[in-house]
């Protein structure tokens, strides 16, 4: 998106949050409102409502890791062992993810990495309201490896979420050929991406893991 498109894209809830934070009217021209908000937060006042602005509004104050190596550095050395033939693991050392349970907008509960708990709750509510899509099933923390590998899944860190797995499988449609609700409500993914999260639906040239998002650049 260019600047004009991004400004037009901003959900009403974001406009309200910025206006309240910087003491401006929500009816202020959007670019002027973004500039005022950025100035109030000590950001570069360029009028571009990008990821830095999104993270000032909803971020946890914890940097989004750029890749797997950055994730591993952030969490430090964690030791584990497989629990059987499946993907499950058991932590064997004192260092493991600090997991907490949160309440979500849809009434569900979710186990997530503590430092980003408020960020997840806020972005989920924003994504639901902005897109009109409210997932009925969510899953985040699961101590497991990636299938067919010995690498920890981002779920094992509590920084990846799956939404309605049965309705949003790999690919662009469901097994019955019907569209996936998460793809027909594009704003849902867009909100998370705006805040710096990666959406699995982008993988494989846009035919990837639609249900999945992770807090990794």
- The partner residues of 158 in beta bridges, in order of sequence, read none
**pLDDT at residue 62 tops 90:** no
What is the band of 84 on the pLDDT scale with cuts at 50, 70, 90?
Answer: confident
Structure token digits, residue 104: 């979500």
Percent of the chain at pLDDT exceeding 90 = 88
Residue that the structure tokens 């067919």 belong to: 148
Residue that the structure tokens 């937060």 belong to: 41
H-helix or E-strand spanning residue 187: helix 186-194
Q: Assign 58 to helix, strand or coil.
A: helix
Residue that the structure tokens 């493991």 belong to: 96
What is the band of 206 on the pLDDT scale with cuts at 50, 70, 90?
Answer: confident
**DSSP character at residue 94:** S
What is the band of 14 on the pLDDT scale with cuts at 50, 70, 90?
Answer: very high
CA angle 83, 89, 92 (to 5 degrees): 95
Across 131-138, average pLDDT: 97
**pLDDT at residue 17 tops 90:** yes
Across 132-140, average pLDDT: 97
Burial 23-56 (b: 16+ CB within 10 A, else e): ebeeebebeebbbbbbeebebeeebbbbbbbbbb
| Contact indicator for 49, 10 with CB cutoff of 8 Å | yes
Model pLDDT for residues 34-53, shown as the tens digit of each residue: 999 999 999 999 999 999 99
Q: All domains of the chain, ordered by start, with CATH?
A: 3-58 (no CATH), 68-214 (3.30.1380)
Distance (Å, whole) CA 10 – CA 109: 27
């Amino acid at each position: 998106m260019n600047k004009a498109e991004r400004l037009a894209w901003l959900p009403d809830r974001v406009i309200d949050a910025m206006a309240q934070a910087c003491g401006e009217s929500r009816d202020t021209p959007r670019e002027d409102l973004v500039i005022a908000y950025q100035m109030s937060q000590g950001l570069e006042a360029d009028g571009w409502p990008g990821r830095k602005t999104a993270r000032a509004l909803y971020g946890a104050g914890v940097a989004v890791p750029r890749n797997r190596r950055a994730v591993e550095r952030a969490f430090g050395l964690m030791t584990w062992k497989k629990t059987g033939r499946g993907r499950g693991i058991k932590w064997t050392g004192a260092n493991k993810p600090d997991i907490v349970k949160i309440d979500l907008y849809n009434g569900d509960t979710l186990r997530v990495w503590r430092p980003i708990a408020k960020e997840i709750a806020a972005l989920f509510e924003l994504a639901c309201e902005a897109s009109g899509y409210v997932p009925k099933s969510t899953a985040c923390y699961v101590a497991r490896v990636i299938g067919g590998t010995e690498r920890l899944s981002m779920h094992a860190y509590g920084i990846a979420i799956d939404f309605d797995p049965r309705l949003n499988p790999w690919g662009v449609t469901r097994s019955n050929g019907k569209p996936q609700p998460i793809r027909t409500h594009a704003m849902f993914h867009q909100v998370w991406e705006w805040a710096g999260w990666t959406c699995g639906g982008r993988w494989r040239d846009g035919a990837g893991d639609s249900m999945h998002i992770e807090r990794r650049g």
